[in-house]
Amino acid sequence: MIWPNLLSVVVPMYNEVGNVRPVVEAVRLALEPEGPWELIVVDDGSTDGTREELERAAGDDDRIRAIILPRNRGQTAALRTGLREARGDAVVTMDGDLQNDPADIPRLVRTLYEGFDLVTGFREERKDPMITRRIPSVVANRIIRWITGVSIRDNGCSLKAYRRELVDRLYLYADFHRFIPALAVSTAGARVTEVPVRHHARRSGRSKYGLSRTWKVVSDLLVLTMIRSFRERPLVPYVSAALLTFALAAAFGVRSALTAIEMGQLSMVFPTVTALLTGLAAYLVMLGLLAEAAVFHARERMPATSYLLRPAGAPEGPGERSQ
Amino acid sequence: MKPTGTRALNGEAAGSGQSREGAEPTARHKPAISVLVPVSERPSALEWIYAEYSAPLRQESLTFEFIFIVEPKFQELTLPLEELRKEGEPIQVLQTSHPIGDTGLIRAGAERANHSILLTLPPYPRIEPDRLPALLAPVLEGKPMAVARRWPRRDSWLNRLQNRVFHLLLTSVGSGGQIKDVACGVRAIHREVFDVLPFYGDFHRFLPLLALRAGFEVVEVEAAQHPGDRQPRIYGPGVYLRRVLDVLGLYFLMRFTDKPLRFFGLVGSGGILLGGAILVVLAVQRIGGQAIADRPLLLLGTLLVILGVQAIALGLVGEVIVHVNAPARERSRDRSTAQEPERVGYPPLDPDSDWKP
């Protein structure tokens, strides 16, 4: 039976007073027969008495701990706090609303030790409203898969299992909790897979999501594509774009020169377009240099390697990898 | 606060002599206070400020020091302070070589401060001095920051109007709702908290908002306005313009520093969509047989697309900078003990464990 020396379960909660006890019970029920575990709940500035419930739960069981953020900081910040608190060799994150089923955790962990750094849940039968949640989610996941090149069908599922080595190399900020698999692959070279998990309708409390996130997701996706290429050479995408622009400028220039020879007089508009596009090309090269400089300076302060190295050959179990 | 092994701050209040099970901080370990007075505009007699505002601190038998940081044009005001200092009063007087503004003055004072709680006071009376202990109380108990709200307000209508407009502006850009008197300037803050806030430029005015954004709890304490704060204040137009720019800058920084593309991308896609629409119309006309080579509309369309591409490309550089600095930012957050959230249900420390909460 493969089990980490300690499994940390991290659960961010925001105004989930009715879910504290069920979550604790479900986690205990699922993990008790498996091996050593701890539960870390991050209370993201709740105002509904979640905190008191957590104090009670933590008082009852040594393995349960809570971190109370003084103000609401958002899901990424809460998740980051929880991941930094986790002490286990493997870390599982999940939602605080019991839409994920803790009974799936053991399967996630076992898959993790088949040779992956990150295992994410894949909700086969979602129990969410069709129009506002499921259709946008399918479309978004298609686009994310296409853009990031990471073939995960369900980026939105919070139920995930991480190896310690990945947690230590994963830096979450802004709203990147939505794109953890893509981020893990492009910044840490993680091996990622997904396993089907159960999904329940909300039992208690209110959903904190809606359609309003579309623009944020689009913008973040653009950033992710950028991250994929700029990690090493930000100059490359910028210079490519500059070359493309310059080709366009050249086309306009040749065209206006031909017209000038033909007609014997120069029109104003085409040469101006040529000049504008040439300017844009130069501007893009300069921006690329700036980005390159930013990466160069940060590299000095970054960890020596951001890649997860592993011995070639057989998949490893817990503790087989040297730090 | 329920004593369940909680810990709010690592300052003297919580750190020394407090067991893990959360004994109340004892009186003899009350943290000491450094009072910072930046002197850059319309100062009152500074020795009077010292006498007025040190009295309540003394009454509460708090340990304190006053640090006056003075711009060159007010040098002569420091003479009585020097006298007091020679008599043994806990006063430091710092002079700058040139005008550096309130933010710089406060930062210079904080560098020289000896104590773990900073209290900023304007060089003129703002609130009734007897409210200082009430303002300090939450911070002494471990809250990161407390600010005074001038209430009840005995102000002239002109000042009230200005204040109202300032807050309207703040609320309209989506901040300041939680703090009712941002401009007051009488604030108590823990040193560690102060040290991690992005305190530069003209942002001293928005210190409570910066603290809120960084995730700290800010307590607002009502304190009666001092009668001396009443006289109407009128500034030059440049001052008002700078205020508006301050608020706009703050809006951008609070909303978009972590995700610059959300802003630049919005501007950029607007330009691309509009310019693209123009170009499509022109293309259709060209296919229809019209000449477009000398249509200025072609220039407008191209220009809009180009500006759009530039905005997005710029936003992406911003994202690169944010992204590559994420590890460094997280490490600096780890270092700041002040920002530690409360922990509940932690096991007693095992001396052999290398794990530290």
CA distances to A137, A150, A173, B113 from A154, rounded to whole Å, are: 8, 11, 20, 53
C-alpha A191/C-alpha A166 separation (Å) is 10
A139 touching chain B per CB within 8 A: no
* pLDDT tens figures, B30-83: 789 999 999 988 888 999 999 999 999 999 999 999 999 999 899 889 899 999
Query: What interface predicted TM-score (ipTM) does this complex get?
Result: 0.77
User: Which of A6, A54, A171, A235 would best serve as a mutation to test chain B binding (most B beta carbons within 10 A)?
Assistant: A171
Q: Tell me, yes or no, if A269 comes closer than 8 A to chain B by beta carbon.
A: yes
Q: Is the pLDDT of residue A104 over 50?
A: yes
Residue A49 DSSP one-character state: S
Contacts of A245 in chain B (CB under 8 A): 309
Query: Residue B328's pLDDT band (boundaries 50, 70, 90)?
Result: confident
Q: Which of B306, B341, B346 sits opposite A81 (nearest CB)?
A: B341
B317 in contact with chain A, both atoms CB, cutoff 8 A: yes
What residues contact residue A86 under an 8 Å CB cut-off, 6+ apart?
A8, A10, A38, A40, A167
Cα–Cα–Cα angle for A157, A162, A163, nearest 5°?
A: 170
- Chain center to CA of B95: 23
> Order of strands, edge to edge, in the sheet holding B342-344?
A192-197, A118-123, A160-163, A90-93, A7-13, A37-44, A64-69, B342-344
Write out pLDDT tens, residues B82-135.
Answer: 999 999 999 999 988 888 888 889 998 999 999 999 999 999 999 999 999 999
Q: Say yes or no for a CB contact (<8 Å) between A302 and B294.
A: no
Q: Inter-chain contact B298–A269, Cβ cutoff 8 Å? A: yes
Distance from CA of A247 to the nearest CA of B (A): 14
- What distance in Å separates the CA atoms of residue B61 and residue B43, rounded to the nearest whole number? 27
Residues 28-87 of A with CB under 8 A from B: 51, 54-55, 57-59, 62, 64-71, 73, 77, 80-81, 84, 87
Taking residues A274-299, report their average pLDDT. 88
* Integer Cα distance of A142 and A136 in angstroms: 10
pLDDT tens readout for residues A149-189:
788 888 878 999 999 989 988 888 888 888 898 888 888 88
Say whether pLDDT at B10 is over 60.
Answer: no
Mutation for B interface: A71, A84, A220, most B CBs within 10 A: A71
Q: Which is nearest to A9 in space by CA: A127, A113, A103, A75?
A: A103
Is A217 near chain B, with CB under 8 Å?
A: no
Per residue in A10-28, pLDDT (tens digit) is 999 999 999 999 999 999 9
pLDDT for A176: 86
Cβ pairs bridging A and B (under 8 Å): 151
Instruction: Tell me if B259 and A175 make a contact (CB, 8 A cut-off).
Output: yes
Is residue A304 predicted with pLDDT exceeding 60? no
Per domain, the residue ranges of chain B are 6-256, 260-341
Q: Which one of 3.30.70.141, 3.90.550.10, 1.20.950.20, 3.90.1150.10 gives the CATH number of domain B6-256? A: 3.90.550.10
Touching B: A residues 76-105, CB under 8 Å: 77, 80-81, 84, 87
- Between the CA of residue B60 and those of B16, B63, B130, B137, what are the distances in Å? 21, 9, 11, 11
Q: Which of B303, B330, B342 is the closest to A171 by Cβ? A: B330
pLDDT band at B148 (very low <50, low <70, confident <90, very high): very high
Question: Chain A: nearest CA to B298, how far in angstroms?
Answer: 7
Task: For chain A, give the mean pLDDT.
Answer: 84
Given this model, what pLDDT does residue B176 score? 59
pLDDT at A313 over 80: no
On the question of pLDDT at B185 being above 50, the answer is: yes
Which residues are bridge partners to A7 per DSSP?
Answer: A37, A90
Three-state DSSP state, A90 = strand
Report residue B265's pLDDT band, with 50, 70 and 90 as the boundaries: very high
Which residue, among B249, B263, B161, has the nearest Cα to B205 in the 3D structure? B249
